[in-house]
Amino acid sequence: MIHVRLSSTTASAAAAALLLIATSAFGEAPPPQQLYVYPAHGQTYEQQQQDQFQCYEFGKNETGFDPMAAPPPPPPQQKRAGFFGGAFAGALLGVAVGAIAGNAGEGAEIGAASGGLFGGMRSAQARNQQQQNQQQQTQMLATERSNYNRAYSACLEGRGYTVD
């Protein structure tokens, strides 16, 4: 069995790279803030690794945020009829109304035009709503990460480390 000893900087970089790879499959996430941990009282490498893991657990339990977990996937895009679906539905309604009024062809034209207009507007509204939801999710993730980093740093500083 081969044992490899990584410096804390190398181990942190590897963990950040794994997190980046995991999150890239699930959508955009804010870039993690890199924290550097320095032993201020001569702690050994093994002690530092143990303290960092215990502070990781502390931060996770205090904030409910796990920086090593992949963020939730974005909600699936809702398929909307859009311009053409609205035009089709409007044309059908226009044919019915036009047939009652005596001119099904003109009713279909008017219905298609108005249905297309309203279908396009609904589609644009849906896209805007989806963008707002993604922005809110990204902001929430950044806030949770910041809260976790504060708890993690406080734990390590309490154990005699300097965290930058």
Per the model's pLDDT, the better-predicted residue between 23 and 45 turns out to be 45
State the pLDDT at residue 119.
Answer: 67
User: What is the reported pTM?
Assistant: 0.54
Per-residue pLDDT for 19 more than 50? Answer: no
Residues 68, 71: Cα–Cα separation, whole Å: 9
Q: At what angle do helices 82-101 and 104-158 cross, to 10 degrees?
A: 150
Per the model's pLDDT, the better-predicted residue between 126 and 15 turns out to be 126
State the pLDDT at residue 101.
Answer: 65
Structural element, H or E, at residue 161: strand 161-163
Mean pLDDT, range 90-104, rounded to an integer: 64
Strands 37-39, 161-163: pairing kind: antiparallel
Per-residue pLDDT for 124 more than 90? Answer: no
Q: Residue 157 carries which side chain, given as an amino acid letter?
A: E
Phi-psi region of 82 (alpha: psi -120 to 50; beta: other; left: phi over 0): left
Between the alpha carbon of residue 122 and those of residues 3, 42, 76, 104, 126, the distances in Å are 59, 63, 17, 26, 6
Phi-psi region of 121 (alpha: psi -120 to 50; beta: other; left: phi over 0): alpha
Q: Residue 59 carries which side chain, given as an amino acid letter?
A: G
